[in-house]
Structure 1
């Protein structure tokens, strides 16, 4: 731990006492520090990004939080570094082995595929893709996911009319099916452990959250009742009216100025919650005890090859087209699009901090995941479709006709943004060895980017992976039994810079893998009762969950994942 020199001896001693107290705080409720905790996830934000911004903008809101709160500079997210396990970890205290959440697009060997009916439920073969993202919305092309708010595409402020119960926006026909009940399995039912929202509700507290898909109703927890007001406009919907003859257009992630606009809808909801209103600005439910949102602007600014951006720090000027996304040539300094996104997030946080009651509210800033690579020169895009087809064809030994074979392919499901996760139909030792050896020998040409954002050819080997685990190795990696019905059969850890995608330079960074750039994110705790400190001790973002309960005077041990994994409250909080 590194303590700022300006702290007095008394404060230093109190911090030491706080360390001792925190070690024993998991089983006992503590005197509450706060009545409210505002949790903010800035998706994609690396610790290095926060350091750069704070140094460049010492009077900013981000600098206020980082320099006057407790800044954990050696924090990392769960693996895989996907949004779902990352966010679920922050509100449960658990890793995938306990929560059962390996990815937002995963696979279950015990559930039945979508479309299974009551008539064939008990005869259907188990094994189902579990895809909890925009694809399960009633209408994935609409910002309101099919609620059909009148006049929405003429006046986006009407998105405030979106329901606070997004389970109603999910089409059950797109969900996997339980072989026991023969009913669709909603996201909250798939989660194996409870959440901080459920614990808060158990104690009569009010809760709220804003996120990017209706599928984030998973944060309600298994009860389905954890969040009183869950505001979830669909980020992957069309920016233009999808009912027009031209059909759906680009979604809100394809232009960073649109992503900022999208994020501002959620900021408005947070500001209304701070005022004690619901997300639409109505009623008087009171300021929630636990509430918050995620920002997408930084994440898309890191991923986009080129995008429009706002050139001024206030993000109010005329936008400029064609700026390069990601970082400058040194791989550490944010480029113009990313700087615009960071300025936007900072300005929105400033509004929140100014609006909240700083005498009884604690703000926790972190990220669901980072993003890799930061240096454009490291990028190598491997065509994942070709890779999976080649593996299936090699296993089936008839490459020319394998796509038309009536036999089951080896790969039942795969997801591979910047790390490989595969589930197999054949889980025999022979199949596992074959797949691992095949990928270790798989090479070819992918895509990279030059300094101007133009695609170039980049060779790759070992399927772009530095390490491949299969079978028992994967079970050991996650800390589960090999008969776990959700654990992947094969995991590939990407080489630095590898991103899996198609045949275009559509993205220059991704998340989901195990690289340090994917997982090294900040945690900052600031507000009522929190002293200034810089903590270099290694911590995990899943420690946020028990910390929130402790700050509110609730027992962290009420979280099932905390019991299973002995997740500790963040250290050095006095």
Structure 2
């Protein structure tokens, strides 16, 4: 392990909240415990896992340099910072989230993307004969799986529909949200919160495959729950009930709180945001949305359930994901602040520029992203202060990381390319010699990588798609709005068939991996010209994320050893005194505990 011990800096003044200095002083004392004491058996009773989706290591470096007295700075200085941490590959919300919870990559979890396809299943709702060979089908565990996936636009029904904020329709009649704060009463029910008719079908049984049973590996929630300890998690979609793990019946997370981020954004007084969009496309709304999940975590640290109503005890594992930074990185222009007027109504601040900008030749967060980082830091201070108030400082380990990064960071490199014309051209070219198959590419999600699933998944068909992608140009739009041409359909590398299987480390007949998989040229995003960046790809901006661990027995160090976000899962178990090898992905992949964190019996 290459590392250097970083001198701790005293808090010069009270920062953010009044309890900050006291809480950090307590944390410093806990962090000063020697590695030997942890090796001798010292463990945390609680682990707080927080994914700041989209946050790069470079964002952390910049923020600390600008805000040396911030919560992020103090957690980093008192704990172990891993400056060469990378996400799963691909780096989307899934498999990124599943990597954190299992310790596994797609080759063992079977989760290659949040919207994917598998040759081993039948399409949702299709006719099925038990035991008949699979016909292939979409595996889309996303907001369409909600029990209420289509609620008319509250401002103008002619504009279409959104999924319901409460997903299962248990809080708002017909999904009509007139009191978003009531979302704190949302409860997950594995039997009614989702719509099984949207799930892919198991051809052996002709039964829908639940999100948790699709996983190929067990999860930290299963191991911790089996040990008789309480578990909790908050996230952006209810389908992240998948983190319960296979065979769990959706019940290994004792307290799952996942209001739907794709629902229509509604201000605290029940009036929809005038931008008429979801929570993930208005940064002021995203902050409001993340605030509900922060409140859930605070309630849980107070020993209550996420609603704050029932005394249940502090979970052994709890946490959430922040969306605010990710949204700020992607949206070209958006308001940052929700303003309450004297009459109780609300307005938003004027839109500002999202993403990054150059200042004195250096690429730094722009106004929206800077505001988003401030917001996250303030909320982290609130959480840390609660930990201190409840006397949990010497018993709790905090893990900060991200499911994914975002690319490109440099707006000058952005080229948005519509993938539809590329797919149509490939299908048309194939049909010229295969007139009975006019749709070779049947599924795929591209974002800032390329994935294609084929109706004919022979090596010949795979090579055909690869050759077309590589030999053709595509039209795109750069950050200045000018039309540009990109070579190789915007790709820098393509794997097809057996080479794609080899890339992921799976057998050719695995059935889950994309038949054709491609890495984009840095800056290429398959989208209309509305985004500044996207996640899911393989470039540095997609995968190089923050990783900070702070808690009792954790040394104050900066570690340059390359690590992966898959290492979070075994580290959490070891920190709680549980066996990391209880995770099947740890057994299969040899995933190691993060260096310097846990006792010698696990840190080998």
Distance in 1 (CA, whole Å) between partners of 2:90 and 2:100 is 14
Deviates more, 1:537-546 or 1:122-131: 122-131
Q: Contact 1:32–1:552 at 8 Å: present in 2 too?
A: no
> Could you say if the C-alpha distance between residues 494 and 343 of structure 1 is closer, same or farther in structure 2, counting changes exceeding 3 Å?
same
Q: How does 1:142-541 map to 2 (within 5 A)?
A: 142-150=164-172, 153-165=177-189, 168-222=192-246, 223=248, 224-240=250-266, 249-310=276-337, 319-329=348-358, 332-356=363-387, 357-397=392-432, 407-450=437-480, 455-502=481-528, 505-541=529-565
Distance in 2 (CA, whole Å) between partners of 1:240 and 1:295 is 18
**Does residue 134 of structure 1 match 2:143?**
yes
The residue that corresponds to 1:2 in the other structure is 3
Distance in 1 (CA, whole Å) between partners of 2:277 and 2:133 is 38
Instruction: Report the CA distance between 1:382 and its aligned residue.
Output: 1.1
Deviates more, 1:291-300 or 1:330-339: 330-339
> Could you say if the C-alpha distance between residues 445 and 18 of structure 1 is closer, same or farther in structure 2, counting changes exceeding 3 Å?
farther
> Could you say if the C-alpha distance between residues 433 and 407 of structure 1 is closer, same or farther in structure 2, counting changes exceeding 3 Å?
closer
> 1:253 aligns to what SS in structure 2?
coil
Distance in 1 (CA, whole Å) between partners of 2:110 and 2:214 is 8
Report Cα offsets for 1:192-213 as digits up to 9, x if no partner: 1110110001110000000001
> 1:3 aligns to what SS in structure 2?
strand
TM-score, with structure 1 as normaliser:
0.90
The residue that corresponds to 1:24 in the other structure is none
> Could you say if the C-alpha distance between residues 440 and 169 of structure 1 is closer, same or farther in structure 2, counting changes exceeding 3 Å?
same
Report Cα offsets for 1:340-390 as digits up to 9, x if no partner: 111111111100011012110000000000000001110011111111111
Instruction: Report the CA distance between 1:458 and its aligned residue.
Output: 2.4
> Could you say if the C-alpha distance between residues 494 and 246 of structure 1 is closer, same or farther in structure 2, counting changes exceeding 3 Å?
closer
Deviates more, 1:190-199 or 1:175-184: 175-184
Instruction: Report the CA distance between 1:124 and its aligned residue.
Output: 7.6
Aligned pairs, number: 545
> 1:41 aligns to what SS in structure 2?
strand
Distance in 2 (CA, whole Å) between partners of 1:143 and 1:95 is 30
Instruction: Report the CA distance between 1:122 and its aligned residue.
Output: 5.5
Distance in 2 (CA, whole Å) between partners of 1:54 and 1:543 is 24
> Could you say if the C-alpha distance between residues 37 and 148 of structure 1 is closer, same or farther in structure 2, counting changes exceeding 3 Å?
same
Report Cα offsets for 1:248-303 as digits up to 9, x if no partner: 94111111000111111111100010011111112111000001000000001001
> 1:230 aligns to what SS in structure 2?
strand
The residue that corresponds to 1:33 in the other structure is 43
Instruction: Report the CA distance between 1:125 and its aligned residue.
Output: 5.0
Instruction: Report the CA distance between 1:32 and its aligned residue.
Output: 4.2
Distance in 2 (CA, whole Å) between partners of 1:167 and 1:43 is 29
> Could you say if the C-alpha distance between residues 382 and 138 of structure 1 is closer, same or farther in structure 2, counting changes exceeding 3 Å?
same
Distance in 2 (CA, whole Å) between partners of 1:280 and 1:63 is 30
Q: Contact 2:32–2:555 at 8 Å: present in 1 too?
A: no
Distance in 2 (CA, whole Å) between partners of 1:265 and 1:298 is 16
Q: Contact 1:32–1:550 at 8 Å: present in 2 too?
A: no
Q: Contact 1:195–1:226 at 8 Å: present in 2 too?
A: no
Deviates more, 1:286-295 or 1:135-144: 135-144
> Could you say if the C-alpha distance between residues 93 and 245 of structure 1 is closer, same or farther in structure 2, counting changes exceeding 3 Å?
closer
> 1:292 aligns to what SS in structure 2?
strand
Distance in 2 (CA, whole Å) between partners of 1:378 and 1:331 is 15
Q: Contact 2:122–2:137 at 8 Å: present in 1 too?
A: yes
The residue that corresponds to 1:25 in the other structure is none
Deviates more, 1:109-118 or 1:192-201: 109-118
Distance in 1 (CA, whole Å) between partners of 2:35 and 2:266 is 55
Distance in 1 (CA, whole Å) between partners of 2:460 and 2:438 is 16
> Could you say if the C-alpha distance between residues 523 and 245 of structure 1 is closer, same or farther in structure 2, counting changes exceeding 3 Å?
closer
Distance in 2 (CA, whole Å) between partners of 1:180 and 1:211 is 32
> Could you say if the C-alpha distance between residues 337 and 508 of structure 1 is closer, same or farther in structure 2, counting changes exceeding 3 Å?
same
Report Cα offsets for 1:144-201 as digits up to 9, x if no partner: 1142414772221100111133663211111111112211111101001110110001
Report Cα offsets for 1:321-343 as digits up to 9, x if no partner: 22111001357300001011111
> 1:169 aligns to what SS in structure 2?
coil
> 2:350 aligns to what SS in structure 1?
strand
For structure 1, the residue ranges without an aligned partner over 5 or more in a row are 22-29
Q: Contact 1:107–1:130 at 8 Å: present in 2 too?
A: yes
State the 4+ residue runs in structure 1 displaced beyond 6 angstroms. 11-19, 243-248
Report Cα offsets for 1:55-107 as digits up to 9, x if no partner: 11111111111111100000000100011111111111111001111001111
> 2:547 aligns to what SS in structure 1?
strand
> Could you say if the C-alpha distance between residues 262 and 166 of structure 1 is closer, same or farther in structure 2, counting changes exceeding 3 Å?
farther
The residue that corresponds to 1:554 in the other structure is 578
